[in-house]
Amino acid sequence: MRNYVIAVDLGGTNIRVALVHADGRITRRISRPSLVREGKARVIDSLLSAVEELYQENYEAPQGIGIGVAGAIDLKTGTITQSPNLPGWDDVPLQKLVKERLSFSAEVFLENDANAAALGEYWKGAGAGSTTMICLTIGTGIGGGVIVNDMVLHGADGMASELGHITVDPQGPRCNCGNTGCLEALASATAIQKSAADALRAGHRSSLKSLWNRDPDSLTAKAIADAAYDGDDPARRIYQDMGTWLGIGIATLINVFNPEKVIIGGQVSKAWELFIESMQEEISRRALRVPARRAELLPARCGDDAGLLGAAYMVFSAKETGGKELRG
């Protein structure tokens, strides 16, 4: 029986392809560089060859193929309308391109990668058992996915849940999107690095100074977290401030969506103890009492596999519901 799905995580750096079973087990993975600079055709070839490799190993066609991709998706046509991580990929009908070229017959499903990560956590991670949840993925930027009453929120153009671009400080720093004071510009790994560099430039005494002097690039969010765990004051303050900004954004999300769970993933979530207190404090201060009490704040559990699991879940759940539920 075809009880597995081929899940794809197509990012700006890597293409990851995996065999995912109906119980969430991943039994085989392939990862290769996306080589985005070599053009769309090359990336799609590489994606297809990895999918075919997994198919050949199993002899049986999968239940379907689920693809999570960094970009805005038109779900009706399975088209990537725009992608900041895949330059030049405007209006690419990826669903059709993949389906047409497969050597076997299978449905292909497309989803934005942050939504896929939210679905992965909802299915097999920290969100399991909830019906309404929010997932924030904090890395270089901040991605978001919102699940309301067991459905992914897509919006009119498939661009809902851009949670990183909520304004939390109108006077704040410029964001990549062109706005100022977005959550992403204040609470992402990039923002943490920038705050640390600013603190050092301003002459704050910190154990990070020697690291920074040797190589400014080594001043990563992780290095700053390590210093904070070792008791470095400026580093601790940076994570506390980051928690405050995050709390301001999440308080709004709690008031709007009344989620059972707010899940935080991505590399920065590993510094959980460094920002949870200030984040919680800000949420208590700003969110309404009933939804604030309801919302459980949790670190993500699926790690890098969240997107793959979510991409697989799209296929499994579409089979259950006749393809209606998650395709809007």
Task: Report the residue number, 35 or 177, with the smaller CB distance to Zn ion.
Answer: 177
Is 159 among the residues that bind Zn ion (CB under 5 A)?
no
Strands 72-74 vs 14-21: parallel, antiparallel or unpaired = unpaired
Distances (CA, A) of 157 to 153, 171, 311, 314: 11, 29, 19, 19
Given the complex with Zn ion, which of 159 and 177 has the nearer CB atom? 177
Contact code string over 86-125 relative to Zn ion, x by CB under 5 A: ----------------------------------------
Residue 177 as a binder of Zn ion (CB under 5 A): the answer is yes
180 forms part of the interface with Zn ion (CB under 5 A): no
Structure tokens at 264: 């935080």
By CB under 5 A, name the one of 165, 209, 270, 294 that touches Zn ion: 165
Q: Are 136 and 146 in contact (CB under 8 A)?
A: no
Instruction: Compute the distance between CA of residue 179 and CA of residue 52 in angstroms, rounded to an integer.
Output: 42
* Integer angstrom CA distances of residue 15 from 241, 266, 289: 34, 17, 43
Q: How far is the CB of 174 from Zn ion (least distance, A)?
A: 9
Q: Are 56 and 48 in contact (CB under 8 A)?
A: no
Interaction of residue 175 with Zn ion, rule CB under 5 A: yes
Considering the rule CB under 5 A, would residue 270 count as an interface residue with Zn ion? no
Residue 167 interacting with Zn ion (CB under 5 A): no
Bridge partners of 16, per DSSP, are 9, 31
Residue number, 78 or 143, with CB nearest to Zn ion: 143
Q: C-beta of 28: minimal distance to Zn ion in Å?
A: 37
Residues 101, 312: Cα–Cα separation, whole Å: 20
Q: What residue ranges bind Zn ion (CB under 5 A)?
A: 165, 175, 177, 179, 182
